[in-house]
Amino acid sequence: MESTGSSGRLWELQFERSSRRGGAFAALADSAPSSAELQVPGSLAAAVVKWPVELAQDDSWRMESVLSKYENQITIFTDYLEEFPDTDELVWILGKQHLLKTEKSKLLSDISARLWFTYRRKFSPIGGTGPSSDAGWGCMLRCGQMMLAQALICRHLGRDWNWEKQKEQPKEYQRILQCFLDRKDCCYSIHQMAQMGVGEGKSIGEWFGPNTVAQVLKKLALFDEWNSLAVYVSMDNTVVIEDIKKMCCILPLSADTAGESPPGSLNALNQSKGTSACWPAWKPLLLIVPLRLGINQINPVYVDAFKECFKMPQSLGALGGKPNNAYYFIGFLGDELIFLDPHTTQTFVDTEENGTVDDQTFHCLQSPQRMNILNLDPSVALEILKENLRMFELVQKHPSHWPPFVPPAKPEVTTTGAEFIDSTEQLEEFDLEEDFEILSI
């Protein structure tokens, strides 16, 4: 603390550095199959963000009052964002290319159309007695939400759909957005993700790594009948086509039972499209492939292959980061990665009386942040690779030395007695190393 007079003080927010990081890359497939450590610019490396905080005479203060009064100043990198350079290079964003020199406005519009989930405050306490803000611990969960939201946008609206401020949006868009509101009855809310994480060994209020987020999304998707996604998280650097088919293929209904399908089911949807009930349906696949591309830093031989992932039409980007610093990578320019940053704290937004959501705070209208790809943490996951560089195995049959594959079913959800973290100081008690271990399917 640095004194500013008898009536107040300055609060200093330092940049944290850690060698413990992780990441994940994902893609969406609608048809049958045929981490970074942010390097702060030199001008910002020694910077400390400060703003006045009014304190009581006994020098006690509450974080809630800080967030409430100085909410708009929490985006710590806003004043240091660099404009895109004047170059003829192509920019790739989630499978789409933009010529920067002539299509800059189109590029920025494409980026701002992505749903942007950040820290929130003043939502109902998680579990009834838990935290009412995820500031300081929920960044990887927010990145997972962004990745999944992009999958749902592609599923219902298509990759070419674009968002415009103050413009009426399709009903599917509003329904997607409501899946992620910070309420316990929303299927991919911070409440549902945090409580499902208890079953993965994470206390509510503890920082999640990308592995935990992947497993949590896989389980929550089982309760989401509207979107009906099959979430496959690869194990031991291996993607098994046979296992994916078991997850995604829905057996056809008999002629006697075809008309009994629930209105929102895939079989009912196929019937409405004229698809014969005698043919199997295919659930859209969300594929997450965790990999490690080096030991202490990314191996340069993987750079081109990693960039190829963002050119894939089905690309949903990559998750990467370290404790309190997770990012959602959506594309690249040259050797710089473009990402959305969840480290802004905003007030909880709920549905309005007409059933819609004011979405102005769910889209980032600022210039996106960038980082050199060589500064990416090696714990990241890839989906598509250059032919001459194999970083994971794609096999047809389930390996015989693995346990039998059982398609996931709805788990028993138990959160009673879950431990809650009362302060960010307790995070130091946990082992935050989140390398990509073998994942359970």
Q: Is 139 a catalytic residue?
A: yes
C-alpha span between 320 and 139 (Å, rounded): 10
> Dihedral (C-alpha) 253, 255, 256, 260: value to the nearest 10 degrees?
50
Q: Which of 139, 143, 154, 364 is catalytic?
A: 139
What distance in Å separates the CA atoms of residue 261 and residue 270, rounded to the nearest whole number?
10
Listed as own residue / partner, the contacts of 53-57 with beta carbons closer than 8 Å and 24 or more positions apart are 53/8, 53/9, 53/10, 53/11, 54/7, 54/8, 55/8, 55/9
Report the distance separating Cα 36 and Cα 25, nearest Å: 12
Q: Considering 143, 341, 364, 377, which one is annotated as catalytic? A: 341
- The dihedral sign for the CA sequence 337, 381, 295, 427: positive
Burial 236-253 (b: 16+ CB within 10 A, else e): ebbbbeebbbebbebebb
d(C-alpha 147, C-alpha 214), whole Å? 10
Residue 319's nearest CA partner among 174, 148, 192 is: 148
Is 398 among the catalytic positions? no
Q: Is there a catalytic annotation at residue 343?
A: yes
Helices and strands (H, E) in the chain, number of each type: 9, 20
Catalytic residue among 98, 143, 309, 343: 343
Encoding tokens for residue 7?
Answer: 């009536």
DSSP 8-class letter at 251:
P
**Gyration radius of the chain's alpha carbons:** 22
Write out the catalytic residue numbers.
139, 341, 343
